Amino acid sequence: MDKPLRGFARLGHTVAALTVPILAACSHYAAQIAKQPDLSSLDKVEGAKCSLASSQPLVVDWSPTRRGALESALRRGLLVVKYTGCRLEVLDHCHPAAHEAGYAYVPINPKREGHSFKTADDLYAQMPMGAAQLEGKLQSSGELRLEMNIVGRFESQVDEIKSSELEGSGCDEATHAVKAASVGAFKLFSAASANESGSVASATSGLRSSGSAEKESLSEDGNADACAKATGSDDAPPYGCAALIRLELVPIKWTVAGSVVRRDRVCPVGMIASEDGSCMPFEAESAEGASGRAGSGASAEGRFVATDETVFDTTTGLTWQRAPAPDRMTWEQGKAYCRGLVVGGTHGWRLPKKSELETLVARRPAPKIDVSMFPGTAPEPFWTFAADRESPGDAHAIDFSTGRTVSLGCGTHRSVRCVR
């Protein structure tokens, strides 16, 4: 048995102690367990909360059965999923053409971590897939706490996957691949009556009980004493210390060809498609000056091909969200919003790179963009994907009142326009 499989063999022992045995050969069974209802079934309020979700979600709130099914799926090779923030669906029959891609165990010096969840936003950001079920516990207790011992990760060597590299059924719904999964031991509990000595810092005590005895355990797996035996040279996690804790997801890069533009909905520059499909003049804002020179210096006239929801840039090959996001949001929220965006049935949206958003800057009065193609664009900063490396906690935005790049606090609420 090779090294990755040997590691996963141990990973299975921990879950098996708490749940029914998981049959690795039952791939269809694993997919059914991991599958959840589509995001469209959520109401608008929960849908907005789901946009907070991280690309490194915790799975400690999952039932042992669901985590066991995910473990079983991970054994079979690189895992492709549909992830919409509050929903993660394993696409069991979709996989990269490179079948040898899989996961190998990488040990780390054991880490003890603690997290405190005091608001619903905290839950949706870190445990998005179980947040709705945990909100009631949070409201009644005032705080949820998570204590973790992390000893290593199962990692793939894949940093990027293109949609053209996928094969099998269901791949048209793929949004992410699971790059890595952290393992160890954890305990999630409500902390309504826990005193200060039982704070999150108690994670350093190895997940042992501390503070008031009135804490209610919500989910736990793994053994802290077993994790204490881990070293940085292990080729597998210690027996009893292989519970799945956190996933690291990487987005699928969807290739967009010019042919994806629906010709029956394309209108000339300065016009917009009506409900019956005919083109009519765009009257929301004067297009005067909108055909000025874009950031790259090319004429905007004839450059963009618009539908009612998207704009295809013939010079860059990028497809843009035509109207900006309905609400301003933080940088992390903007990234999550774009990852979960579905426009015209298409996935693969993301925050633009700084260089990409700069190509939309036009030499015209503010807002400095072709307003006939991008209606509703306010003369204000729009987030880019680029963090400011010289100023931790800040990220770059393009200010369409000036056309210049600005650095803003990641926690401030700014406009968002997604690209694919």
Dihedrals phi, psi of 131, to nearest 5 degrees = -60, -40
> What is the pLDDT at residue 286?
33
Smallest Cα–Cα separation from 146: which of 57, 39, 235?
57
pLDDT score of 7:
55
Which ranges constitute the DSSP H helices of 24-63? 27-34, 44-50
At 239 the pLDDT is 93
Res 214: pLDDT: 63
pLDDT < 50 stretches in the chain: 1-6, 9-46, 193-213, 256-300
- How do residues 41-88 score in pLDDT, each as one tens digit? 333 444 557 766 778 899 999 999 999 899 988 888 899 998 877 888
Going 168 to 96 to 249 to 335, the CA torsion angle's sign is negative
For residue 331, which of 347, 351, 345 has the smallest C-alpha distance? 351
